[in-house]
Structure formats: C-alpha cells, structure tokens
Amino acid sequence: MSLRIAFMGTPDFAVPTLTEIIGQGHEVVAVYSRAPRPAGRGMEERKSPVHAIAERFGIPVFTPRSLRGEAEQADFAALDVDVAVVVAYGLILPKPILDAPREGCLNLHASLLPRWRGAAPIHRAIMAGDSETGVMVMRMEEGLDTGPVAMAERLAIPSDATTGDLHDRLARLGADLMVRALAALSRGALGAVPQTEDGVTYAAKIDKGETRIDWSRPAAEVHNHIRGLSPFPGAWCEMDLAGRTERVKILRSTLADGAGLPGAVLDDRMTVACGTGAVRLVELQRAGGKPLTAEAFLRGAVVAPGARLG
C-alpha cells in the first residue's frame, strides 16, 4: 500500500533513501531540508543535495530555520501525512512535529544504536577502530537517537576503509532498509524494540581542532584518525616542501612495518614512524590541489627519508 510521506533530510547520505521511496511508489507530498547556504568561491547560495533532487521530482521543498514556531508546526500538520521519514535532516523535531504524522516519524541512523548516537556516527566508528557498524530504522522520540529500533542491518568495516567509503555503502544499505520498513508499516507489521542503555556512546560533531595528526600516538590510532576524517574534514600534518612549511591532508593510509622518531619519514614510499609502529601514507592532498597517490605526490614534492612531519 502506498503511504503519504513527508521526507526530511539534507546531505548526500539522505538522497538514496528519498529516491528509493519515490521509486517504490509512495506519495512524497513534501520535502524538508536545511536552508540554502553560501558555498564555493563566489559564495553563492547552494541548495542541499536533498533539496536539489526533490525539485527534480517536482516535490515542494520547505526550508524553515526552525520547527519550533506555531506557524511551522501548523504547516507541517496540514500536510496530513501517514509518516515522516527523517535522514540526517539537521534540525531538532519538537514534540508537535513528532506527533503530527499518523504513524509518527521514522529515522534512519548510521550506527548500531545505542553506540554512536549523535551527529557523526560514521566518523566516530572508524576513529574508534570499530570493526562493525550498520544502519538502523527507529521510531523517533524527543531524546537524541533514543527511540525504539524497528529494523537494522550490520556491516563489517574493512581495515583501510575511510569514512567516505563507508558513507556510500551505508547510504545504499539504509535506503533499502527504510523502504522495507515502510512496506512493513503499510501492512501494520512494523514492530520496534527499545534500546538498551548498556553501551551508549555519543558521536560528537567533528571539531577542526581535532584534525591535526599526532604522530606520537600508536600507529593503529593514527591510521584510524586519518581514515575516519577522510575525505572531510581531512586529517592533516605539516611538511617542509621546497623550504616552505605546508599543511597537507592525508586521505588514505595503511599500517606498515617500521620504527623511529614520531613523524619521521622512514623510506621513499612515505612510511612514517608513529609512537609505536608506523603507517604508510597512500593518498595526500596539498592545499588547493587534487588528491594524489603517494607516488604521484612525490613526483611533485621532495620528502626524503629522514624528514620529520609535524
């Protein structure tokens, strides 16, 4: 049975779920997304990925700055939807919004709740060295990602996978999971299990102050830090390139054999010593440049064995 749906989402991660819902024949009567923001060199107003896709399908898009006002809440209630689907929307939903749809609000979250509630679950799972993650559909309540879980899919995290790699796989997996949840909801067969309070962790938004690489940490932690912040905002270090200190993002790495002073370059393959062990830098990006393999990077920059990265 087709459902009448309000979709609420903003970034690329939410796009597969929206397109999959439309493809399944549900009636998406409105899309809510964060308001356009200045971006690019010209700082022109740029619509969110979800906003742009919704317009391609001819779906009305609403971009309120907040949903706490009575007028915004009345407008949402007037949509008369069966359910709201929420995927990385970015605004808190107050109780009148949560209560307006006949079947409530379903949220797609990219972690194995209750681990990594909050804003940056993919980044934090990789940075912590987790071996497994997943996606979950939960029924929303007023707490931060505290609602009962209706469906889940698990996914192993490969040892060298970045946040970007995992983001794309989880977005596709989550889209499939949400349409299955909606199918069950339309049959009156979508149950939900309360989350346990054991193992609760919070995925705080990534702060720019934590992006610099600390080479004194063990190699495994450095490696997880690099891949957890790739491609955005990017872990970085300082290098002396042609007599000038430059900030360089490290986008990919792998664990390697070697030992030395933390930050020391050990060979001509960009193997770098850590507090214990070493990592080999696989992909790098200079400010204003394109991502390059280590081999390509070294063709345009001299980083000799014995150099120290800061």
The answer to whether 185 is a known ligand-binding residue is no
Q: How far apart are CA 89 and CA 100, in angstroms?
A: 17
The answer to whether 114 is a known ligand-binding residue is yes
Q: How far apart are CA 271 and CA 99, in angstroms?
A: 55
Are the CB atoms for 202 and 116 separated by under 8 Å?
yes
Alpha helices per DSSP H over the chain: 15-23, 49-56, 70-78, 95-99, 121-127, 163-186, 219-228, 294-300
If you ran DSSP here, which 8-state letter would residue 309 be given? -
Q: How far apart are CA 229 and CA 108, in angstroms?
A: 22
How would you classify the pairing of strands 149-156 and 117-118?
A: unpaired
Q: How far apart are CA 104 and CA 137, in angstroms?
A: 13
Name the 3-class secondary structure at 91. coil
Q: Which of 272, 264, 270, 233 is nearest to 251 (CA)?
A: 233
- CA 121 from centre of chain: 7
The answer to whether 112 is a known ligand-binding residue is yes
Q: How far apart are CA 155 and CA 208, in angstroms?
A: 28
The answer to whether 113 is a known ligand-binding residue is yes
Please measure the distance between the N-terminal and C-terminal CA atoms of the chain and give it in whole angstroms: 59
Q: Which residue positions form the known binding site for (6S)-5,6,7,8-tetrahydrofolate?
A: 111-114
Q: Which residue positions form the known binding site?
A: 111-114
